[in-house]
Amino acid sequence: MLNLRKKILVAIDGSPQSDKAAEEAIRMAAGNQSQFKSRIYAMLVLPNAPTSTYTDFVPTAPVTESEKWDELRRRIFYVVEKCALENDIPLEMIVEYGEPAEKLIEFAKREQVDVIVIGSSGKGFIQRRLKGSVSHRVSGGAHCSVYIVRG
């Protein structure tokens, strides 16, 4: 196995499963002992901002423009930021709007990511059948390896 720098994308949403995925991604990057450091991209995908209609006089601002955003961002990215800093791993944090599986796949392809690390929510059979699983859609549509971390 050639041990060169890897680009690792980790899906973050503030849940315990995504924190576990972040820890696994950092462990994967820290395990690369070559002179080339692996890089972590931590991506948070927020739902599409509601579109305003002509009946809206004052459209609501996206969550990233609210007063609470800095504190919320710190809490969501806390684990991956802390682990990356402790292990001296380069980290880039990304916030996107849209459908999570689509955005993760698009980013991975555009940035030529080597592996996507994503947590599994552990939804029951019925919820998975009705809504689908982001990890399942990512693993089916990604051009690269996908590492699913079970909670």
Quote the number of domains for the chain.
Answer: 1
CA distance 7 to 10: 10
Q: How confident is the model at residue 68 (pLDDT cuts 50, 70, 90)?
A: confident
Asked, for residue 136, whether it belongs to a domain, the answer is yes
Residue 111 belongs to domain with CATH number: 3.40.50.620
Asked, for residue 28, whether it belongs to a domain, the answer is yes
Domain range for 69 is: 7-51+60-149
Asked, for residue 91, whether it belongs to a domain, the answer is yes
| Among 3, 5, 37, 21, CA closest to 113 | 5
Give the mean model confidence (pLDDT) for residues 50-72.
65
Asked, for residue 2, whether it belongs to a domain, the answer is no
Asked, for residue 1, whether it belongs to a domain, the answer is no
Asked, for residue 47, whether it belongs to a domain, the answer is yes
Give the mean model confidence (pLDDT) for residues 48-74.
67
Asked if the model's pLDDT at residue 3 lies above 90, the reply is no
Q: How confident is the model at residue 116 (pLDDT cuts 50, 70, 90)?
A: very high
Asked if the model's pLDDT at residue 95 lies above 80, the reply is yes
Kindly state the percentage of the chain with pLDDT values over 90: 56
34 or 92, greater pLDDT: 92
| Among 112, 122, 113, CA closest to 148 | 122
CA distance 139 to 14: 21
Asked, for residue 131, whether it belongs to a domain, the answer is yes
Asked, for residue 73, whether it belongs to a domain, the answer is yes
